[in-house]
A and B are shown apart, each in its own frame.
Chain A
Amino acid sequence: MGKELMRSPLGRALGLGSAKHGVEQWRAERVTAIALVPLTVWFAAASVVHMNSDYATAIAWLRTPLAATLMVLLLTALFCHTALGLQVVIEDYVHSGLKVPLLVAMRFGCFALTVAGILAEMRICSGV
């Protein structure tokens, strides 16, 4: 059924209903989840292999184009998914005036960690 059929003419005229972009966050959480399935499994498997690696071996692995690419993709998808997940948790349990500052701080934290992680990976690639 078309969504316009579900709405009354008055409701349409008054602009009632959802904010029209709520579904995007829900969808982004799922899309990042799908991306994270191969990325996290790759990292978990690589962690097992490099469990006892010395510094030189670990850095040589992180410098390979495949590992560097996947690491940046992992960081991006991971913190996007984390931010969306934590947002729902905060919205569900924090009802005080702390809610909005907490949401903003969490977002800032996720952005900062993404940037820090990518910069660390770039520094590893360019030779410490």
Chain B
Amino acid sequence: MASSTPQRMRPLSPHIQIYRPQLTSVLSIANRITGVVLSFCAVALVVWLISVAAGPKAYSTIHGFIRSWFGQILLLGCTYSFFLHLCGGIRHLAWDAVYGFELRAIYTSGWTVVVTSAALTLITWTACMRFAR
């Protein structure tokens, strides 16, 4: 009986792709994407620690890569991902504590996350330039 039913894909209701991106949805997926990016940064942290434990030669190899233009671009991406996930995470913790659920508060905290994480990235890199001298 069941075999007489034609096998075909069931229709799907419209999903997220039909909606205009909003700050709330963009920050939601950004928190997840930066989380995945930071997983790779966590692996890099262990690789760096192992290079320190392995000796000066491995250390200078790793630092040579970090100082290359490709390493610097990766590091900049990691820095911004870190601050976005940090600020976004604090926003989530506030929500978990049942603060800031009004639409106004959600947009205020959302833009605060965007601006603060960009500012912290800028401050960190400015400080890096200073220490690099």
Contacts and interface: CB of A to CB of B under 8 A. Distances in A.
Contact of A48 (B39, B50, B89, B128): B128
Interface stretch (A3-11, A14-22, A30-38, A95-103): A30-38
B86 interface: yes
25 contacts: A30-B93, A30-B96, A37-B89, A44-B124, A48-B127, A48-B131, A51-B128, A51-B132, A52-B132, A79-B42, A82-B42, A85-B35, A86-B39, A89-B35, A113-B46, A116-B46, A117-B50, A119-B53, A120-B46, A120-B52, A120-B53, A121-B49, A121-B53, A128-B54, A128-B55
Contact of B45 (A34, A51, A59, A78): A78
Q: For chain B, give the interface size range.
A: 20 to 34
Chain B's interface: helix, strand, loop or mixed, by majority? helix
Contacts of B79: 44
Interface of A: 30, 33-34, 37, 40-41, 43-44, 48-49, 51-52, 55, 58-59, 62, 71, 75, 78-79, 82, 85-86, 89, 113, 116-117, 119-121, 123-124, 128
Interface string B79-100: 1001000100110110010000
Report, nearest first, the 9 A-B pairs whose CB atoms are least far apart. A120-B53, A120-B49, A117-B46, A123-B53, A55-B56, A120-B50, A51-B131, A85-B35, A48-B127
B128 A124 contact: no
B127 to A, nearest CB: 5
Interface in B81-121: 82, 86, 89-90, 92-93, 96
Interface in B22-49: 32, 35-36, 38-39, 42-43, 45-46, 49
A117 B45 contact: yes
B131 A113 contact: no
A59 B86 contact: no
Nearest to A56: B56
Nearest to B49: A120
